[in-house]
Amino acid sequence: MPRARPYGRSNPPPTAASNPPMSVVTRFAPSPTGFLHIGGARTALFNWLFARHHEGSFTLRIEDTDRKRSTDEAIAAIFHGLSWLGLDHDGNAVFQSNNAARHAEVAEQLIVEGKAYRCYCTPEELTEMRENARNSGGSTRIYDGRWRDRDPAEAPDGIAPVVRIKMPLDGETTISDLVQGDVTRANDTLDDFIILRSDGTPTYMLAVVIDDHDMGVTHAIRGDDHLNNAFRQYHLFEACGWDVPHFAHIPLIHGADGAKLSKRHGALGVEHYEELGILPEAMRNYLLRLGWSHGDDEIIPTEQAIAWFELDSVGRSPARFDMDKLLNLNAHYLKETDPEELAAQIVAIAADTPGTTVSPAAKARLSAGLGGLTKRAKTINELIDSSELYLRDAPLAVNDKAAAILGDPEARQTLGALAEELGKITSWTEAELDQIARNFAESKGLKLGQVAQPLRAALTGSNVSPGIFEVMAVLGRDETLTRLEIAVN
């Protein structure tokens, strides 16, 4: 795609001798005012994928320009969320607040060059202008430029001025967005916005432009709620004499109500999904498919995503979050996960529970029975719950339905008789146990279910479990007979 200055950086200028292929630099720039939610996570993912695809770098910048709203907890949550998602950034994270002096310096320089000016308006004046704009047609141009060409000598006493950038008064600006295409906006809908607050600190608009430039960002991939800002930033880049990075404004993720996802709209931090037992790989795959596609492909492991990811296949319409689909993907990746690893993880979590010990026999049972459990689980948490049956040594907790089944004297009698049969045999495989149970049921004139369900209740303490002969095989002869005995009495 031909662009004016594709991957240009004006500072430092690349030398002709060391002229490596212009490298892609992306950045994820969250403001640490809350947790990392699903929308931010996807923005980070897209930036990460794009950088990895082009063998460029993915940088992280914490936009803590704001005063009191930024918190250490939020910063920690962002780092944790990214790390959980496996989105590693290159180099050290940049804290925007550290660059405040540089930001102010650039603003001063712009004043010297006549591209920016001090504005001494009071908050009251601004409010008035806002009302004026609304009453006279509702224009988005609020500030009327009253200090734009006014002699600074007329500055009133006792008013700390802000610095505003001079925006073009007429004409129009076109942004060639990598996702949205060409977007044009009339310049007279943009006013001279503030770049330096009256306390001398930079505003977001100034800080982003300077930091993006200083960090050598070639592609700014962010939510399309920033599309309007791009026009302002474009002119700031121009005023500074810097190349404008490529913009890619990706659609937002909406909540169930169709509105922008935010803390108020039921958005949850990624750590919530971690706690739910979602796998990072599944989350990446899910987030990727929200707004991006590669034909009909659905299961796209991260390596494949890196190979395929391009900005031109990002859609332009907003998407909604669908937990069912995430869960489905998670179930898929759960089955793909190395069983040994999974078993170790579950044992570690179980052993972590106060007052719980996991016997070597229990570990062995889990390893043997995990496959049957995994097939039935959508999350790691479900898997942990269902693992109880193998991890606990008798006696087990019994749920209500199982208790009801075992409450029937006839069922207990059946179990007693079956236990007797089982006590006689020495070999203990799933197929043989199956056959024995069938023969037993037939000899008693019972349906297999009339034998299997009480057996399940006795052996698992539940009315739901993997195939009961599989369970018996995994449990082994002794444990099976022990559990049966407990249930019968």
Q: Which of residues 393-432 bind RNA (CB under 7 A)?
A: none
Subset of residues 346 to 385 that bind RNA, contact rule: CB under 7 A? 375-376
Non-local CB neighbours of 61 within 8 Å, separated by 6+ positions: 27, 28, 29, 93, 94, 95, 96, 211, 215
Among 15, 18, 92, 317, binds RNA (CB under 7 A): 317
Catalytic (active site) residue 447: no
d(CA 466, CA 69): 50
Residue 166 carries which side chain, given as an amino acid letter?
K
CB of 311 to RNA, least distance (A): 13
d(CA 231, CA 197): 20
Residue whose CB is less far from RNA, 258 or 360: 258
* Run of H or E residues at 59: strand 57-62
- Contact stretch for RNA (CB under 7 A) within 2-10, 52-60, 237-245, 255-263: 255-263
Contact 318, 256 (CB under 8 A): no
d(CA 178, CA 224): 12
464 touches RNA by CB under 7 A: yes
Site size with RNA, rule: CB under 7 A: 85
CB of 152 to RNA, least distance (A): 16
Burial (CB count <10 Å: 0-12, 13-18, 19+), residue 24: buried
Subset of residues 159 to 188 that bind RNA, contact rule: CB under 7 A? 160, 162, 180-181, 183-186
Structure tokens at 202: 């930079």
The neighbour count for residue 394, using CB atoms within 10 Å, is 17
479 touches RNA by CB under 7 A: no
d(CA 326, CA 345): 21
87 touches RNA by CB under 7 A: no
Residue whose CB is less far from RNA, 465 or 480: 465
CB of 69 to RNA, least distance (A): 6
291 touches RNA by CB under 7 A: yes
Residue whose CB is less far from RNA, 234 or 469: 469
CB of 429 to RNA, least distance (A): 13
Residue whose CB is less far from RNA, 65 or 358: 65
The neighbour count for residue 35, using CB atoms within 10 Å, is 22
Subset of residues 103 to 142 that bind RNA, contact rule: CB under 7 A? 121-123, 126, 130, 133-134, 137-140, 142
d(CA 197, CA 200): 5
Among 3, 11, 69, 73, binds RNA (CB under 7 A): 69
Residue 440 carries which side chain, given as an amino acid letter?
F
- Contact stretch for RNA (CB under 7 A) within 144-152, 266-274, 309-317, 339-347: 309-317
Which residues have a catalytic role annotated? 263
